[in-house]
Structure 1
Amino acid sequence: MLKLEKVDVSYGSIKALHGISVEVKNSEIVALIGANGAGKSTTLRTISGLLKPSSKESIITFKDVQIQGMPPHKIVEMGLSHVPEGRRVFPEMSVYENLLMGAHSRKGKPGQEDFDRVYHHFPRLKERIKQVAGTLSGGEQQMLAMGRALMTRPDLLILDEPSMGLAPMLVEEIFHIIEDINAAGTTILLVEQNAHLALEISHRAYVLETGEIVLEGPARELAQNEDIRKAYLGE
């Protein structure tokens, strides 16, 4: 579904990604783990068109179409939705209005089935549908950001640090929901500091260090790798 080949990204004279190659197959959950500053968010922002590769050899293919250099809204229209780090809900708008904004790029108005899909995964949002988003808890704002992304009916959902700043019980709830979204047919690329949980729910994973992929493979195998356990699992 998604393939990155030899992707370079630079911020001025600083090279953030060094020719990375990543593949996400249909129906998978793929995790991208690594330390702060490794280039994880840069990777996601480049996939969704917010950043441009710095090399002509860099190729990003989504559903057999090259998308490097394509405007972000066109990529969304193709079926790729990005939930950024920090949630970034519209704080002055209601939950309902935020969800409507998620469907803005689609042709035609969203139907009740779109809202019902979101409510199925996030029943708390239905209870707070008229509430101003800025008054929600951090966990509820994360649910809203994910629900807003689902309103685009994405084939691929990319999530940047969905557990950041959340209490442990909420983190587990969010990860169960991610599994449910995947089981319902949405492919997921996940960037997550909580490497233990990310590897637990993922099919495959990549380890990014200073802009380079240093390890890749089945998530369960990486979870047993001694270097990974020491570096990212606190063992």
Structure 2
Amino acid sequence: MLKLENVDVSYGSIKALHGISLEVKAGEIVALIGANGAGKSTTLRTISGLLKPANKDSKVIFKEEYIFGIREGSRKYECMAPYKIVEMGLSHVPEGRHVFPLMTVYENLLMGAHSHKGKPGQSDFDRVYHHFPRLKERIKQVAGTLSGGEQQMVAMGRALMASPSLLILDEPSMGLAPMLVEEIFHIIEDINVAGTTILLVEQNAHLALEISNRAYVLETGTIVLEGPAQELAKNEAIRRSYLGE
């Protein structure tokens, strides 16, 4: 479903990603773990079109369409606009939630459906309520008055309003109480079971590896390990560096 090949990204003279390659297959949960500053958020922002690769040999391919790069047999460099990527079925939940604080929960969810042709139906809201029943109770409440956990639910629900086939999540557990972290991870699993493929960036490596099929480890802009999540969870270097053992 998603493939990155030899992706370089720079911020001015500072290189953030060094030729990374990864793949997410339909139906999977794939985790991308690493320390702060490793390039995890940069990777997600590149996938969703908010950053552009520095190298024209870089390729980002989603559903066999080129988001960035030169298609084999072609000389044309593809560079797809972020809104087009959303229309293709990719939704991005950013780090820090970024809800619209002065708008109601309903209005925030409605913003997530902007890629719909026509007004979203009740079934779109019902799908969100199925995963986040608390949002139905808070539907008229101003989003900025919600708790951190509820705002995370709004951010994820807003992304689901676009009916994505691929959902990319950037640090969904950040700043949440342990009980809420468990709840959010159960919801991520439920969203996946319901048919949405997930690419997950998460500093809570233990939980990320527990729910994922496969994982990649990113260090200073380079992928240093990859494989089945359960195997990586047993890797001594991973246990020392990311699982606190």
The bucket for the TM-score relative to the shorter chain is over 0.9
Aligned residues: 235
**Where does 1:201-212 land on structure 2 (aligned, <5 Å)?**
201-212=211-222
- Amino acid in structure 2 at the alignment position of 1:16: A
**Where does 1:40-189 land on structure 2 (aligned, <5 Å)?**
40-68=40-68, 69-189=79-199
- Alpha-carbon distance between aligned partners in 1 of 2:120 and 2:228, rounded to the nearest angstrom: 37
- 1:96-126 deviations in Å (ceiling 9; x for gaps): 0000000012211111000000000000000
3-state secondary structure, aligned to 2:4: strand
- Amino acid in structure 1 at the alignment position of 2:204: N
3-state secondary structure, aligned to 2:9: strand
- CA RMSD of superposed structures (Å): 0.4
1:227 counterpart (237, 241, 245): 237
2:206 aligns with 196
> How far did 1:84 drift?
0.1
- Amino acid in structure 2 at the alignment position of 1:103: A
Over the matched positions of the two proteins, sequence identity in percent amounts to: 86
1:26 aligns with 26
3-state secondary structure, aligned to 1:67: strand
3-state secondary structure, aligned to 2:227: strand
List structure 1 runs of 4+ shifted beyond 6 angstroms: none
3-state secondary structure, aligned to 1:147: helix
3-state secondary structure, aligned to 2:192: helix
> How far did 1:22 drift?
0.6
- Alpha-carbon distance between aligned partners in 2 of 1:29 and 1:135, rounded to the nearest angstrom: 31
- Alpha-carbon distance between aligned partners in 2 of 1:151 and 1:10, rounded to the nearest angstrom: 32
- Amino acid in structure 2 at the alignment position of 1:116: D
3-state secondary structure, aligned to 2:84: helix
- Amino acid in structure 2 at the alignment position of 1:157: L
**Greater CA drift, 101-110 or 126-135:** 101-110
- Alpha-carbon distance between aligned partners in 2 of 1:115 and 1:106, rounded to the nearest angstrom: 13
- Alpha-carbon distance between aligned partners in 1 of 2:82 and 2:161, rounded to the nearest angstrom: 16
Q: Which runs of 5+ in 2 are unaligned?
A: 69-78
Q: Please give the TM-score of this superposition, normalised by the length of structure 2.
A: 0.96
- Alpha-carbon distance between aligned partners in 2 of 1:193 and 1:112, rounded to the nearest angstrom: 35
- 1:150-169 deviations in Å (ceiling 9; x for gaps): 00000000000000000000
3-state secondary structure, aligned to 2:183: helix
- Alpha-carbon distance between aligned partners in 2 of 1:124 and 1:188, rounded to the nearest angstrom: 22
> How far did 1:20 drift?
0.2
- Amino acid in structure 2 at the alignment position of 1:138: G
2:71 aligns with none
